């Protein structure tokens, strides 16, 4: 790599780094693999890329994405569209945590506060309900 040129960072997304290096391509591949595992965690009828695209992703995109488009996303391709990536993240319920992580140390906007608070409130209600069920459960 060149030491002082702006060319030093050109094409990082085109590189093939070693699997254990701290590199953007490896992070994209991990993210894509998480999407693939999420799809495979569904009912057998939704595990194929075609069915997952038709039944799950199409409600976000307005139409069913091609199997190859889903495959590229699940491989961590930098050419994946934001719509596909956002659909996976939303379907996984990960947006509030992602927003908290990427806005860490910044003054939150009202929109961020409302989105994150809603998820936290739902988790708190679920936790309280679970605790109540445990307290009211018959003693064995």
pLDDT of residue 54: 97
Give the whole-angstrom CA distance, residue 107 versus residue 115: 15
Q: Domain check: are 130 and 86 in the same one? A: no
> What does the block give as tokens for 64?
């069913």
Q: Domain check: are 68 and 37 in the same one? A: yes
Give the whole-angstrom CA distance, residue 30 versus residue 68: 18
Length of the chain: 140
For residue 84, which of 105, 101, 59 has the smallest C-alpha distance?
A: 59
Q: Domain check: are 101 and 39 in the same one? A: no
Domain housing 44: 12-92
pLDDT of residue 59: 96
Say if 6 falls within a structural domain.
no
pLDDT of residue 122: 73
pLDDT of residue 2: 42
pLDDT of residue 4: 44
pLDDT in tens, the chain (140 residues): 444 445 555 688 888 898 889 999 999 999 999 999 999 999 999 999 999 999 999 999 999 999 999 999 999 999 999 999 999 999 999 988 888 888 877 777 777 777 777 776 777 677 777 778 888 888 77
- Count Cα atoms within 13 angstroms, Cβ side, for 70: 25
Give the whole-angstrom CA distance, residue 33 versus residue 43: 18
Q: Domain check: are 84 and 115 in the same one? A: no
Beta-strand runs (E) in the chain: none
Please identify which residue in the block is written with the tokens 């999420």.
38
């Amino acid at each position: 790599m060149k030491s002082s040129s702006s060319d030093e960072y050109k094409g990082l997304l085109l590189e093939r780094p070693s699997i254990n290096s701290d590199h953007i391509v490896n992070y994209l591949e991990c993210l894509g693999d998480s999407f693939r595992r999420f799809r495979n965690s569904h009912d057998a009828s939704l595990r194929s890329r075609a069915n997952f695209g038709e039944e799950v992703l199409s409600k976000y995109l307005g139409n069913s994405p091609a199997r190859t488009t889903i495959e590229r996303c699940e491989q961590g391709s930098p050419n994946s569209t934001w719509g596909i990536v956002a659909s996976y993240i939303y379907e996984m319920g990960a947006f509030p945590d992602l927003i908290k992580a990427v806005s860490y140390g910044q003054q939150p906007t009202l929109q961020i506060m409302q989105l994150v608070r809603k998820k936290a409130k739902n988790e708190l209600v679920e936790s309280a309900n679970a605790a109540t069920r445990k307290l009211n459960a018959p003693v064995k």
